[in-house]
A and B are shown apart, each in its own frame.
Chain A
Amino acid sequence: MKAWLILEDGRVYQGESVGAEKKTVCEIVFNTSMTGYRELLTDPSYAGQGVVMTYPIIGSYGVCGEDTESRRPWVEAYIVRELNRTASNFRSEGSLRDYLIKNDIPVIQGIDTRALTKHLRESGTMRGMITFGESFDMDACMKEIKAYTLPETVPTVTCAEKYTLGQGGQYKVALLDLGAKQNIPQSLVNLGCEVTVYPAQTSAEEILAAQPDGIMLSNGPGDPKQCGSVIEEIKKLIAAKIPIFAICLGHQLTALANGFDTYKLKYGHRGANHPVKDLKTGHIYITSQNHGYVVDEQSIDPAVAEMSHVNVNDGSCEGVRYKNGYVFTVQFHPEACPGPLDSAPLFEEFIAMMGGNN
């Protein structure tokens, strides 16, 4: 079956449908990771997005159950050059194609993903439609694409109810789930924490009532400015003077809660090879990234905070350290999955901070 990707600027790419035949409109972004497709598919930050993989052979090692980062895949559509037909790995439980079909995700293969990526790089991230069949009505499709607005996705991806992992751990961490990847609580549990995961809409009062040693704000999808109510709660959490460590969307929301600004990058950072420099030590980590928005460095009030990490490629803000001494936030993903484990020691830093509180 023919499949089509129609972009909001009128560009059309033809491919072959190898997933669910479900017409969909979403934001089209590209990711440059060469491995980790399963983690990526299940990363809630991709909710509402159609993901283009720049690596041309996807699915080679099949689907491995323990590589899942949340309860289900969240990508709206998957666009690849070639979906590998076999699955070869000792942990593989089946082919990626079967997994995508089972999860009702539309997939196009046979697209010149490099040409598409270059176009997105030049023209910026944009909306697009994936549709199927021999032909399509361009005018009707364009109308539909133009009418599409990015939904507020955090409420969809967050957990329904609070739950606890690593019961009996030395430090009690409250994790506000804005679309958390599984390896965030897991990293903390591995370091001896008891992590209580709260739904995004939980009030600050409820979280604080549990008297956590530290608070973790997770990654998540969408425009941070759509999360007005969460920002209000974060303000209260900061006021409680408990150590806070935030990643990605959590980092952006903390910045907004402090009156700083965020803006949308032309085509985002999505991949596993982004160099980030720690401005205090000068050390550079290769990091995993997945974000379309970024904290505006210029908007950081020097009396309140300072930029702690910078992206070596484009100089954008990758981390903020607050002068109060108990809040630090990063744009990249120290929990990796997929991606390098270089920055994992940040979790230890967070633990050390909580240790100081005890």
Chain B
Amino acid sequence: MPKNPNIKKVVVIGSGPIIIGQAAEFDYAGTQACRSLKEEGVEVVLINSNPATIMTDKDIADKVYIEPLTTDTVKKVILAENPDSILPTLGGQNALNLAVELEEEGFFAAHGVTMIGTTAETIRKAEDRQEFKDTMEKIHQPCAESLVVHTVEDAVAFAEKIGYPVVVRPAFTLGGTGGGIAHNHDELVEICGHGLQVSRVTEALIERYIGGWKEIEYEVIRDSAGNCITVCNMENLDPVGVHTGDSIVVAPSQTLSDKEHQMLRSAALAIIDELDIAGGCNVQFALNPNSFEYAVIEVNPRVSRSSALASKATGYPIAKVAAKIALGYRLDEIKNAITHKTFACFEPTLDYCVVKIPRWPFDKFVYAKRKLGTQMKATGEVMGIGINFESALMKSIRCLETNIFSLRMKEVMEMDDATLEQALHLVDDRRIFVIAEALRRGYTQKSIHDITTIDLWFIDKLASIVETEKAIATELSVETLRRAKLLGFTDKVIGEICGRDEDEVRAMRYDNGIKAAYKMVDTCAAEFDAETPYYYSCYESENEVDPTTDKKKVMVIGSGPIRIGQGVEFDYCSVHSVWALRAAGYETIIVNNNPETVSTDFDVSDKLYFEPLTPEDVRNIVELEQPYGAVVQFGGQTAIKLCEALDKMGVRILGTSAENMDRAEDRELFDQILTKCGIPKAPGKTVFTCDEAIAAANEIGYPVLVRPSYVLGGQGMHIAFSDKEIREYIGIINRIQQDHPILVDKYIMGKEVEVDAICDGTDILIPGIMEHIERAGVHSGDSISVYPCQSISKKVQEKIVEDTRNLALSLGVRGMINIQFIVKDDVVYIIEANPRSSRTVPYISKITGIPIVKLATQCLFGDKKIPDLGYEYGLQKEQPTIAIKMPVFSFEKLYGADISLGPEMKSTGEVLGIAYTYEEALIKAFVGTGIRLPRSHKIAITVKDMDKEEVVPIAQDFVDLGYEIYCTAGTSRYLSDRGIPNRVVKRLEDGSPNYIDMIINNELDLIINTPTQGMETNRDGYLIRRNAVECGVHCFTSLDTARALATCLKNADGVDLSVIDIAKI
């Protein structure tokens, strides 16, 4: 069946902001699919609220609507664009839900739009609990039995029918409280009785317990003619009980015999067939480790995080093929993009092992519970490829960039025996390190298996690594060194274990010819000749890479896993830099390890090295490829950190030199430059110890900003008001290993302004000035950012441009620089300058229509100046549109994390609101973040004393909007005295009904709560904020955000939101 000729214009829905559980994988899938559609001559209309993505580029889609993902938006875009089809399978759950809603409403039918890639029927069958169960029963696919009960008697009757143990999950309780596993009748009576009591609706789900079963996933593809293939299967190291997004995953499966594999594979094919999917699908199974019994856990009829991983693990481009299938092609009509010889209708076979490890945000949220369960907590993931499991695992560990390079985790190795024993029973992010330590201390594999239920195969592999550690410690013979390298130990780790220097180990290695070789990921285990240059390293092997070329080679260092502070925006920058370099005739080499991203797609660069971003891993590539130079300014802090090492290896750093990068980071050198340029800065000091910090703070005067140098997203950054707070902060900073000094600065409360600039060595180009709604003190990544700036005078703007120019030239910047300023009383202070690309680059690039990364990349070599590239120096003309970037958080996923905003970044993603007026842009941005107001017209306000005066007009605004205001006694008295009507709500200790009851009973629309400064968590405030997050009640901790929302609501009434195609900018 060839392409359906009726499909000419397709609407593609993206997945919106990055949140936990929905990261860059949809940008990767969406970008690949859009390109795949465009190469078939189909016009692509894209809707996505996330401006940091590559898919929202006008190079990727023909029409780009960066708009809130609502049915209203989709309708308006359809009316404006008149498409014939809509493809909803690329934007995660959000996009599916939107499509189903519009389909059921009859909107698509009324406007001649066909849903392609899937049908509403299919989505319902996969998503609706009952329909799914019925569908599985029809084709004899077992599910874990479950039943919703309202009485203990019903629970017992059901449990007796299906057998113990059973899981009790009470409905609507916080963080799953009140549930548990019942192994027998008595336990069930107790747990279920309690569970029903705590459930608001006296309801609980009783489910067969399958914890400890193997969790296996299949990625399946089917065309509309009914041809099905499995792309890959994957096995979770963590048995059922840990969300697959939080599990360590290996591909292909390791502990399944062919009979088990074929049984599950056949089941997966039967399921996709019954669901009648034309495209990709993910099927998750639980497999009893002691029999052939299995249960279908979940089916996702769309591309997913797992499909992104499967694509990168095998080389099979699932999204690309799925898009072609949606157009009507059959699998045997689509070429295998890797081999160019075979077709998409075959199953990839691997001749390597792939390990994925999630990247958790526990380094940022030190108070969040690290326990892993059914709620995903990771923000991103990394993938390691090796010729054995051990090396793939060790690579992944290095890719995480958590200062751990092997199974040796300091805090775990320092545990006493009792703590270790306890830790072994915990399921958290340290699990593999704890197991390794247990093995070191003589636990048997069997005893560890009995505690963790992790398959012995994985435990034995960890043991193999631990044994090698021991061998290294005993004597580093050539044979041991060979073995260690084969299993993925770095020279640095080997050196640490046997007390030698890294360079010494490397010298020993080279003397004995032990060198990294590179192999190709080719989908077919070398059965066919492949042309795709997608490589991974291994030892004891022949090298396959041919480094010869007649072009100059440039290496682009990627940004690693998605984490708070370093999101998809840096992948956007890396990819655009590669495209600019390719267009300029260079051979491009990408080094990166994030399977969710576009940069690690096999056809983005000329060569892709899927490798950890450590000096050793990069050195190995450098020695083989001998690149002309490396680009580090687009890969976030990950790439910047490698700058010095690359420089030492003799690699030319393209753009701003390593020395100049260091000048921007080094406090004293930077201060000298500022003095020279005449740019004021908050007074500050560089210190190394806690006592020095306290002395400095007293000298400067409180409040002060304390932070480690070389920060990422304000990691470990705090505003301190007292000596005591400083002491507490330094303790936390030290928890995250730091080689760099600590900075103590005077905290100035002013307007925060940000610029990105391109410097060609002669002058600069500033695409636009952005102003933050939240005052300084809230991390720029967590602030609402407005372009163009609204309250900054022309004179101050000119000063900002001048300062930027002076600083960029003095710092010797070639390429990008990002500078943050504070404006107070018309004085412009500098906060910090980063001579690299920033998180605002994608958004400002899109909204101004200036290809910032492309221009900056062209300026890296020194031979091209900005005017040569068709642009003028200086601040560019303001656009008629206002663009507001708003942060999006994932607090509900991180149990225990405090949501109050401060200098440390906490948001995971962002949305953009674009309009011709400020007010409409603001409304769009708020809608994009998911705020839906009003519901009950009730709002609670509790602010610290310092903020009471400021909150009055905000409260008045809400009263004017018809809101009832609830306050705790202190705030209530203050507001009443100033004529603001309000009601008192009880504090927690004053009994029920209190604040928390109002939250849990869903009576509030919004909470404004400004926390008292400091680490000492105000128990009440913290509980209010946590409960709000878990009950889905919006909670603002900055008065500026609250004021913006009030402004927005005042204007929202009766506003019909426009939709704007940014491709026209």
Contact = CB atoms under 8 A, between A and B. Distances in A.
B332 A115 contact: no
B262 A54 contact: no
A54 B351 contact: yes
A88 B456 CA distance: 6
Which of A39, A82, A115, A284 is packed against the most chain B CB atoms within 10 Å? A284
A232 interface: no
A60 B229 CA distance: 24
Contacts of A91: 257
B255 A113 contact: no
5 contacts: A54-B351, A61-B255, A85-B460, A117-B525, A340-B266
Interface stretch (B402-410, B526-534, B617-625, B1022-1030): B526-534
Nearest to A110: B540
Contact of A32 (B255, B527, B542): B527
Contacts of A204: none
A286 B225 contact: no
A115 B258 contact: no
Contacts of B457: 60-61, 84, 86, 88
Given A90-B289, A336-B262, A54 B346 contact: no
Nearest to B233: A34
B633 to A, nearest CB: 36
Given A114-B544, A283-B226, 4 more contacts: A32-B524, A64-B259, A84-B457, A115-B544
A286 B345 CA distance: 8
A261 to B, nearest CB: 25
Interface string B317-335: 0000000000000111000
Given A117-B526, A312-B345, A313-B343, A55 B350 contact: yes
B890 to A, nearest CB: 36
Given A118-B526, A312-B332, A67 B259 contact: yes
Given A55-B350, A286-B229, A312-B332, A86 B460 contact: yes
B346 A273 contact: yes
Interface stretch (A169-177, A234-242, A274-282, A295-303): A274-282
Contacts of A313: 341-343, 346, 528
A253 B269 CA distance: 33
A81 B386 CA distance: 12
A82 B331 CA distance: 34
Interface string A311-339: 01100000000000000000000001111
B541 interface: yes
B455 A115 contact: no
Contacts of B227: 283-284
B353 interface: yes
B266 A64 contact: no
Interface in B251-270: 252-259, 261-262, 265-266, 269
Interface of A: 30, 32-36, 38-39, 54-57, 60-61, 64, 67, 81-82, 84-86, 88-91, 110, 112-115, 117-118, 121, 267, 271-275, 277, 282-284, 286, 312-313, 336-342
A119 to B, nearest CB: 9
Interface string B485-505: 000000000000000000000
B352 interface: yes
A48 to B, nearest CB: 22
B349 A54 contact: yes
Contacts of A339: 258, 262
B343 A312 contact: yes
A56 B352 contact: yes
A81 to B, nearest CB: 6
A38 B230 CA distance: 22
A89 B540 contact: no
Nearest to B1: A282
A341 B226 CA distance: 16
A55 B351 contact: yes
Given A82-B388, A90-B291, A284 B345 contact: yes
Nearest to A313: B342
A45 to B, nearest CB: 16
- Chain A contact residues: over half helix, strand or loop, or mixed? loop
A282 B289 CA distance: 38
B842 interface: no
Nearest to B230: A286
B835 interface: no
B387 interface: yes
Interface string B501-520: 00000000000000000010
For chain B, the bracket of interface size reads 35 or more
Given A54-B351, A275-B345, A35 B261 contact: yes
5 shortest interchain CB distances as A-B pairs: A36-B258, A54-B525, A88-B457, A273-B347, A338-B258
A341 B331 CA distance: 19
Given A114-B351, A284-B345, A313-B346, A89 B527 contact: no
Given A55-B525, A57-B388, A121-B527, A39 B258 contact: yes
B351 A56 contact: yes
B595 to A, nearest CB: 19
Contacts of A110: 540
Interface string B266-293: 1001000000000000000000011100
A35 B349 CA distance: 10
Which of B269, B346, B519, B526 is packed against the most chain A CB atoms within 10 Å? B526
Given A57-B254, A283-B226, A114 B349 contact: no
Contact of A271 (B331, B387, B519, B527): B527
B141 to A, nearest CB: 15
A262 B586 CA distance: 49
A90 B290 contact: yes
Contacts of B351: 32, 54-56, 113-114, 117
A143 B480 CA distance: 37
Interface in B158-208: none
B388 A67 contact: no
A275 B332 contact: yes
A34 B262 contact: no
Nearest to A92: B257
A115 B520 CA distance: 11
Contacts of A67: 257-259
Given A117-B527, A284-B331, A33 B349 contact: yes
Contacts of B266: 340-342
B389 interface: yes
B258 A337 contact: yes
B348 interface: yes
A1 B122 CA distance: 58
A275 B542 contact: no
A85 B227 CA distance: 38
A39 B291 CA distance: 19
B254 to A, nearest CB: 5
Contacts of B525: 32, 54-55, 114, 117, 271
A114 B540 CA distance: 12
Contacts of A342: 266, 269
A2 to B, nearest CB: 13
Given A54-B349, A57-B388, A112 B257 contact: no
Interface in B831-883: none
Contacts of B343: 275, 312-313
Contacts of B542: 112, 115
Given A34-B350, A286-B229, A64 B345 contact: no
Contacts of B269: 342
Contacts of B346: 273-275, 286, 312-313
A29 to B, nearest CB: 12
Contacts of A64: 257, 259
Nearest to A61: B257
Which of A30, A33, A86, A88 is packed against the most chain B CB atoms within 10 Å? A88
A187 to B, nearest CB: 13
Given A57-B389, A85-B460, A35 B529 contact: no
Contacts of B253: 35
A340 B262 contact: yes
A56 B387 contact: yes
